[in-house]
A and B are shown apart, each in its own frame.
Chain A
């Protein structure tokens, strides 16, 4: 009896303590919750509510019949998706391009920010800062047209080569170097825009640390390594994780526009696959299933990367308990 009560008390008391602790925190933190509420409400109303519509992934959906009345078909759409070798090809292609771009594209905005930041002339720095992001606002049609005009078979480079009696080479139609091409196009279009967030991060570096480091005899590179980079790391890690969450998206129009030139084998990514298999045919349920797949993979990658970040002592997207 006695022992029983003790056991009850000892097992209840941590729970009670937790509850009490929660109450205490709620009392303390309600202003924070109040601040968070508007954003959560907006997301709830305009994101989560329509997100319920994603149940069409489990339906034989027709817009005329509606979500409520379309018949449920279980995992049929997923079975069709996973049973299609072309789907896996597209997924692998996408992951390959993502991996390639993580290595060769992702660091570029960081390096660009460091370069711009290290410029001594204020005028040149401001000028570079003000123009380098502009290609972000060009459409893919325009970006590819510009690349065509420079590197295409009838472009400036090959016209020059022909005039010199050399053999022209056309990178615009070479499937083997396609990943290089799309990465180069992507860097040219968006690296400058991506730089902006790192510039913001650089602005939070404590200047006194530089001076202190310099006084300690640290050279240019060591200062960058020991002062600048540590300030950037949290942002870099965060953006890296967010990029992983988007790992199955590498762009759409860029690939659609160059599909004929290099062929579907090289240019089929998940988004173009879904487009041709689902969207074009109005097969919303199939496209919905693919969307869910993308989200789940993204979620797993984010959680995994977040865990790795924690192991390395970084904050990541959100902290562990």
Chain B
């Protein structure tokens, strides 16, 4: 199975679905400089829009094999078969024969420390990359300790959610400023990096300088899925309005048949009612938090009713033990919110035992049947940072290695990095799709793939109909794409106010689950505003105005 770095958003969705979204949100914005006054302008975290343009690398797309379904509207291109003929994309070995140290997280069992896959990639790289792999759940703690002890490797992969506190203060002293190496046409020395979209690079700009090389993210992270096969069996169609969704739930839920309508759909219900995640400007220009909007109230009322009427599977309502996938896949729950990347994973799990298994994202819809909105994710949520004390030549060598790892589909390098050596680690299966064999599954994990990655593409051709369905949904949703107001900005909230969101989220959960009466929403929001919500609004207003948003 190919391991795409989808966990970025699966985790996001996962946490949000648990009502822990605030915890995540609180991890990502960087804390401001110490002792900053509330409402003070963020310190060097937000980049000036004009200056930002000057540090961004040029976008020079390369395409080695034309996709069957060309990327449109920013959505990923689709390959109905994995390219049979591969091209050598990086002719010369970027390394100079030495050892390179790197640290990556892992969300899967680690490979043996010495293996043929490493050897094969290292040979092409002309460098021996020594990976320090750390469990994803322990990564933030390990990073913090290594920062404190000044023990960083040459290449450090840092996912958005593990960014250490006060990173904004430290990034320039700890990590190499890559502006000189990559800004403008400098990037063209590294064609695979020049192939990365500009919005991905924007993620790496901090204080008008470029730090790190991004792993480009997909346009959308999460959505609602439904069991297409079971819907057909029951004669149901996916909803196109809020009323239809509700009626659908009534039809599906039947505890006596061990069948419930859905998991916690709140994340997508909010989207359905057009709620802008985080902060947004009203037509008057006033900045409002999502929880202050009318759409939020409607979404809350809607989802609360689903909980109250028993449409949410009791196991989902009763704990956070992460059983949603199992309940969805076994048909005791027919709709759930999940990351888009979990789709083909579920297919890998279920199709061998149940060839009829068919899950699909609900086609774009809104509460009233009008035009829906789909908010796009950040252009990247993982980046590889280069240690700050290295000589320029060494930095260039390391960028060459990242360039190699970012080679797109159709190249030998892409195959090698993702599937190892054909015949040794993987064989071509259905639709020419590379399938890892037993040796491959042990050795080929996402390691080099973390160091550098090409723009996303949909290429899991081994699952019948999957590429087309995924592509169709993404393009359909991309028609309604909207950016969040703070996209690409690393706004650092004052430490004192970072916990505000968690408390609000706790109270929202109480409202959702019917533990507090619905009419409390207003007083909850009043308290939130006086406890610091208004300060936070002022703070964001300043930060956003500074960059003209």
Direct contact of A and B (CB under 8 A): yes
Q: Is B332 interfacial (CB-CB < 8 Å)?
A: yes
Whether B320 contacts A281 by the Cβ 8 Å rule is no
Q: Is the CB of B260 within 8 A of A282?
A: no
What per-residue 1/0 map shows which CB atoms of B446-460 lie under 8 Å from chain A? Answer: 000000000000000
Given A162-B256, A276-B499, are A261 and B34 neighbors across the interface (CB < 8 Å)?
no
Nearest-CB residue, chain A, relative to B510: A263
Taking a contact as CB atoms under 8 Å apart, the answer to whether A144 and B166 are in contact is no
Indicate with 1 or 0, residue by residue over A130-163, a CB within 8 angstroms of chain B CB atoms. 0000000000010011001000111100110011
Which residues of chain A are within 8 angstroms of B315 by Cβ–Cβ distance?
A: 148, 152-155
Contact across chains for B165 and A260 when beta carbons are under 8 A apart? no
Inter-chain contact A263/B173, CB cutoff 8 Å: no
A276-B499, A280-B23 as given contacts; A63 in contact with B317, CB under 8 Å: no
B191 interface residue per 8 A CB criterion: no
B255: CB under 8 A from chain A? yes
Complex: A291 Cα to B349 Cα, angstroms: 44
B319 touches A152 (CB 8 A): yes
Residues of B within 8 A of A73 (CB): 35
Report chain B residues within 8 Å CB of A261.
Answer: 317-320, 513
CA distance A287 to B369 in the complex (A): 48
In the complex, what residues of B have CB within 8 A of residue A62's CB? 34, 165-166, 169-170
- Nearest residue (CB) in A for B141 is A279
Among the listed B18, B27, B147, B332, which residue makes an inter-chain contact with A64, where contact means beta carbons less than 8 Å apart? Answer: B147
- In the assembled complex, the Cα of A263 lies from the Cα of B34 at a distance in Å of 33
Q: How far is it, in angstroms, between the C-alpha of A170 and the C-alpha of B509 when the chains are bound?
A: 18
How many Å lie between the Cα of A283 and that of B147 in the bound state? 15
Q: A64-B166, A175-B515 are in contact. Are A153 and B510 (CB under 8 A)?
A: no
Q: Are A172 and B318 in contact (CB under 8 A)?
A: yes
Q: Let me know if B164 and A153 touch, CB within 8 A.
A: no
How many angstroms between the C-alpha atoms of A265 and B170 in the bound complex?
37
Does the CB pair A282–B164 fall under 8 Å? yes
Q: Which of A172, A173, A268, A283 is close to B165, meaning CB atoms less than 8 Å apart?
A: A283
Q: Are B318 and A64 in contact (CB under 8 A)?
A: no
Across-interface contacts of B260 in A (CB, < 8 A):
154
In the docked arrangement, what's the CA distance between A155 and B255, Å?
11
**Contact between B515 and A258, CB atoms less than 8 A apart:** no
The answer to whether B174 and A64 touch across the interface, beta carbons within 8 angstroms, is yes
Q: Determine how close the nearest CB of chain B comes to the CB of A192; give it in whole angstroms.
A: 22
Interfacial chain B residues near A168, Cβ < 8 Å = 255
Q: A141-B322, A148-B315 given as contacts; is B147 within 8 A of A281 (CB)?
A: no
Cβ-Cβ contact count across A and B, 8 Å cutoff: 137
B323 within 8 A of A: yes
Check B148 for interface membership: any CB of A closer than 8 A.
yes
Q: Are A80 and B317 in contact (CB under 8 A)?
A: no
B506 CB to nearest chain A CB (Å): 4
**In the complex with contacts A64-B166, A162-B256, A263-B319 CB distance below 8 A:** no
Partner of A265, one of B169, B173, B510: B510
Q: Which residue of A lies closest to B333 (CB)?
A: A154
Within residues 308 to 339 of chain B, which ones have a CB less than 8 A from any CB in chain A? 313-315, 317-323, 332
Residue contact A260 to B499, C-beta cutoff 8 Å: no
Chain B residues numbered 26-40 whose CB sits less than 8 Å from any CB in chain A = 26-27, 31, 34-35
Q: Given A80, A145, A276, A282, which contacts B166 in the complex, CB threshold below 8 Å?
A: A282
Scan A169-194; emit 1 where CB is below 8 A from any B CB, else 0: 01011010000000000000000000
CB-CB nearest in chain B for A286: B495
A155 to B318, CA, bound (A): 11
B498: contacting residue among A66, A173, A281, A284, CB under 8 A: A281
A264 lies within 8 A of chain B by Cβ: yes
* Interface pair A264/B169, CB less than 8 Å apart: no
A80 and B494 alpha carbons, distance in the complex (Å):
14
Q: Which residue of B lies closest to A153 (CB)?
A: B314
Structural contact, B317 and A145, CB atoms closer than 8 A:
no
With A64-B173, A282-B144 already in contact, the answer to whether A256 and B320 are too (CB < 8 A) is yes
Chain B residues with a Cβ under 8 A of chain A: 18-20, 23, 26-27, 31, 34-35, 144, 147-148, 164-166, 169-170, 173-174, 255-256, 258, 260, 313-315, 317-323, 332, 495-496, 498-499, 502-503, 506-507, 509-510, 513, 515
Interchain Cβ contacts under 8 Å between A and B, 12 examples: A62-B165, A64-B166, A70-B34, A71-B34, A86-B503, A154-B313, A154-B314, A154-B332, A163-B256, A259-B20, A263-B509, A281-B498
Give 6 nearest A-B pairs by CB, closest first: A153-B314, A282-B165, A172-B318, A64-B170, A264-B506, A154-B314
